[in-house]
Structure 1
Amino acid sequence: MNAPVLLTLAGLAGCFALIALQVPVGVAMGIAGVAGFAALSGLAPALATIASEAANQLASLDLATIPLFVLMGAFAGMAGLSEDLYRLAYALVGHRRGGLAMATIGGCAGFGAVCGSSVATAATFGRASLPSMLSRGYAPGFAAGTVASGGTLGILIPPSSIMVIYAVLSQELIISLYVAALVPAAIAVALHITAIALHTRRHPSLAPVGPRATAVERWQAVRRSAPVLTLAATVIGGMAGGVFTATESAAVGAVMAFGFALLRRSVTRAALSQALGGTASTAAMIYVLIIGASLFGTFTAVTQAPQALVEAVQASGVPVWAAMLALMALYLVAGAVFDEVAAMVVTLPFVLPLIRSWGFDPVWWGVINVVVIELGMLIPPLGMNVFVVKGVAPQIPLADIYRGVAPYVASNLVRLGLLLTFPALSLWLPTLLKS
């Protein structure tokens, strides 16, 4: 093993050590990348790399998509659009056993289309739907597990911030990743609802049957949810139809969401300050993450460690399917110990060359990566969304929430198996758009 590869391994170990010490992921990757680059080429070139990478990322129109979509989600929350979606889903399926849980999944999926954040979706529906389920006799652990699991849909359904990060780092088109995620997202919703139906049939005490909504109530729910349905259709349909670029779609969505908030008279000085401040904070965090990842990626490119990894795997004779399963296990373990975005960003410079060397489409791998991250947001010992819901409902024991997410972990594993076995589920829509 040559010296540059050993230096890369040392840099990777140092990066994970910094992350474990609670240093922000972007800062940890930047420190490791700059230190490694300085060891190879000197301090002056390493410092120049900081300036060039920061300038490149700050000038990127693709990355400008993220703060605009985050702002759109903040304005949508200000306008109360999440509650509208939940009421609509409840009016349609609330009378079935587990109907409130199904409504929560449907509402989370819909809000994910105007939010793009799993944590924000889980927190929003923890306040919007969890009290409703608890008041109607749902088992607390099952109700909380439903909210935590539904929240993970926020990073798969466009617009998704993590998909923008993947697109920038892998140099793929954002629109290709967004379109590729549509069918897997629909499969996720269908499997989650199936899991609810099967689980509550086996354990009826978890979810009592609710009253059926009248025709008038259903129509009122549809009319009330018209703004959010229009917003989601404009943003996703505009991108898929080629009317808008991803950045233009984000800008249009942010303006529309703010317009709905104005029409509902929910724009106050405090709410606007919170929305703008939260957007600025999230955008700054993501830009630091991307700049740090770019610095680390430049360092690994100079050392040619990714190419060495590809050659080592090819020389080992390990079957592709076995190596792929090992990658899945690696991501699940990393996602359960580290922050999920950190697990993706740190490993991508090494994993993506392997995926390409096996002849797989990077767009397909982007979808697979996000699905595995969704699993990592539910399983112990970290399970980010589980802790988000725990923060919203501190009276529910953590162990009960983990038991509550178990049916959804099973449905996610089924979906992962389907997407790994049939890549066309992710790729046929992007292929159709290119033709």
Structure 2
Amino acid sequence: MSSMTIGTLGMAILLMLLVLRVPVALAMFAVGFVGIAVLNGPMAAMSLMASETFTLSSSAELVVVPLFILMGNVATEAGLSRRLYDAAYAVIGSIRGGLASATVIGCGGFAALSGSSVASALTMGKVSLAEMDRFNYDSRLSTGVVAAGGTLGILIPPSTGFVIYAILTQQSIGRLFLAGVLPGLLLLTLFVLTISLLCLVNPKLGPAGPRTSLSQKAQAIGGAAPILGIILLTIGGIYGGIFSPVEAAAVGAGLVILVGAALGKLSLRALWSATRDSVVTTATVMLILISAHMINPFLALSQIPQALGEFLAALQMPPMGVLVVILACYLVLGCFLEGFAMLVLTMPIFFPVIMQLGFDPIWFGVLVVLTLEMGLISPPVGVNVFIVKSVARDVPLGRIFAGVFPFWLAMLAALALLVAFPQIVLLLPNTMIN
């Protein structure tokens, strides 16, 4: 068999394993290892496995992953994430749809701590769903808001998706973090506008919540001030050149632990639980990255990326047309594949094409991560939808998917704006002080 045939067969087997719910890292590692062994010999596969595992495990820049994950987990254990929701709730909860908007804002704030969409959806679901149910919010809006708001965790920095993209494409983690700030705020704004429009058309979807006095607003904002300060310090420190991403992660994790302890909300048991969860999540991310560095050489040896590049060139489409086709592929794949698996599988194929067309890799990274977000709420996989379902057990799955659809359209609008106006993405990284 030719290398192209072996590569195509390997990718078909990989997709079949993923459909059968084999863990992403295990499926990619097995196909990559066996594929390299077939194309280049067993010794080459063994050597690559040993060298890539050591290289990735000793990479200093990957320290941002456990530190930012620890920061988010400690914030959850110490109840600091609840303070973000309470502050937004006090300020805008009294308007129609205000509790839903407060949930989105709370998700955005928690995303800036954890970098995890699943953690954002789960945490905010536990905090806000009961409140919205108490004030007779329609279950489509309440669950849809939590599922969609949770997706902000993969876009607003620190984002695990940006870290994996940076490692796969040899881009700057710091520039990617900064590139995600304005698109994240844009998407958050579009979500709030979507809620307002839905409640304007049908006021019964989101009744107004209780009014709060100025002193209650001030108290709630004051309670969230420490965690907001940590968020601004870490992201602002990267932008100002004060911290590298690794240093910002260390400062953020350390400050969250100190704040939690000072407030008396962080016991040794809670710290241990947060640390244990962080280790498990970090190990999962590392296994995916190691597996990616096994599957990428296999794809290169099979010459699939080169063949795809030649095929797209033969179509004689304008560069923007090729970009739209690639993004459409991500939208379709997002309906069936887990986000990180999709990222690892497609980067070796699409990234060389993007570079050949002269697109900015940082801009493309934000577009890709946004399409991964859309996959998190797209049927039939929709990971965030199932996370919300685990919290709202009495709400039918179809009703949750119906609730997220307006927010999926808002994400599509955000994607179109970022394609049309790359400056939204590139403004902060291009003005970053090095």
Instruction: Give a deviation string over 1:298-342, Cα, whole Å, max 9, x none.
Output: 222334331232122112223433333332222122111111111
> Which region of structure 1 is more displaced relative to structure 2, 32-41 or 310-319?
310-319
SS for the counterpart of 1:158 is coil
Which residue type is aligned with residue 22 of structure 2? Answer: V
Q: Structure 1 residues 297, 225: closer, same or farther in 2, change over 3 A?
A: same
Q: Conserved in 1, the CA contact under 8 Å of 2:80 and 2:260?
A: no
Q: Conserved in 2, the CA contact under 8 Å of 1:419 and 1:425?
A: yes
Which residue type is aligned with residue 192 of structure 2? Answer: I
Q: Conserved in 1, the CA contact under 8 Å of 2:175 and 2:362?
A: yes
The percentage of aligned residue pairs carrying the same residue is: 40
Q: Conserved in 1, the CA contact under 8 Å of 2:112 and 2:156?
A: yes
Map 1:105-184 to 2 at 5 A: 105-184=104-183
> Which region of structure 1 is more displaced relative to structure 2, 3-12 or 405-414?
3-12
> Which region of structure 1 is more displaced relative to structure 2, 196-205 or 11-20?
11-20
State the match for 1:382 in structure 2.
381
Segments of structure 1 that go 5 or more residues without pairing to the other structure are: none
Mapped pair 1:207 → 2:187: no
State the match for 2:424 in structure 1.
425
> d(CA) in 2 for partners of 1:223 and 1:319?
52
Cα displacement (A) at 1:269: 4.2
Which residue type is aligned with residue 92 of structure 1? Answer: V
Map 1:255-266 to 2 at 5 A: 255-266=254-265
State the match for 1:328 in structure 2.
327
State the match for 2:56 in structure 1.
57
SS for the counterpart of 1:83 is helix
Instruction: Give a deviation string over 1:170-228, Cα, whole Å, max 9, x none.
Output: 10000110111111111111111111111100010011122321110011011111111
State the match for 2:47 in structure 1.
48
State the match for 2:67 in structure 1.
68
> d(CA) in 2 for partners of 1:299 and 1:3?
13
Cα displacement (A) at 1:276: 1.6
Q: Conserved in 1, the CA contact under 8 Å of 2:116 and 2:159?
A: yes
Cα displacement (A) at 1:71: 0.6
Map 1:298-317 to 2 at 5 A: 298-317=297-316
> d(CA) in 2 for partners of 1:135 and 1:80?
21
SS for the counterpart of 2:432 is helix
Cα displacement (A) at 1:38: 1.1
> Which region of structure 1 is more displaced relative to structure 2, 299-308 or 22-31?
299-308
Aligned residues: CA RMSD:
1.4
Instruction: Give a deviation string over 1:22-78, Cα, whole Å, max 9, x none.
Output: 222122112111112111221111101100000010011121210111111111111
State the match for 2:249 in structure 1.
250
Q: Conserved in 2, the CA contact under 8 Å of 1:179 and 1:430?
A: yes
Number of residue-to-residue matches in the alignment: 434
Q: Conserved in 2, the CA contact under 8 Å of 1:142 and 1:400?
A: no
State the match for 1:240 in structure 2.
239
> Which region of structure 1 is more displaced relative to structure 2, 201-210 or 309-318?
309-318
Mapped pair 1:193 → 2:192: yes
Q: Conserved in 1, the CA contact under 8 Å of 2:239 and 2:433?
A: no
State the match for 2:295 in structure 1.
296
Normalised TM-score (structure 2): 0.97
Q: Structure 1 residues 413, 119: closer, same or farther in 2, change over 3 A?
A: same
SS for the counterpart of 2:311 is helix
SS for the counterpart of 1:97 is coil
Normalised TM-score (structure 1): 0.97
Q: Conserved in 2, the CA contact under 8 Å of 1:119 and 1:388?
A: yes
Q: Conserved in 2, the CA contact under 8 Å of 1:377 and 1:385?
A: yes
Q: Conserved in 1, the CA contact under 8 Å of 2:18 and 2:27?
A: yes
Cα displacement (A) at 1:434: 6.1
> d(CA) in 2 for partners of 1:230 and 1:412?
28
Which residue type is aligned with residue 146 of structure 1? Answer: V
> Which region of structure 1 is more displaced relative to structure 2, 422-431 or 194-203?
422-431
Which residue type is aligned with residue 100 of structure 2? Answer: A
Q: Conserved in 1, the CA contact under 8 Å of 2:111 and 2:152?
A: yes
> d(CA) in 1 for partners of 2:361 and 2:3?
26
Q: Conserved in 2, the CA contact under 8 Å of 1:368 and 1:419?
A: yes
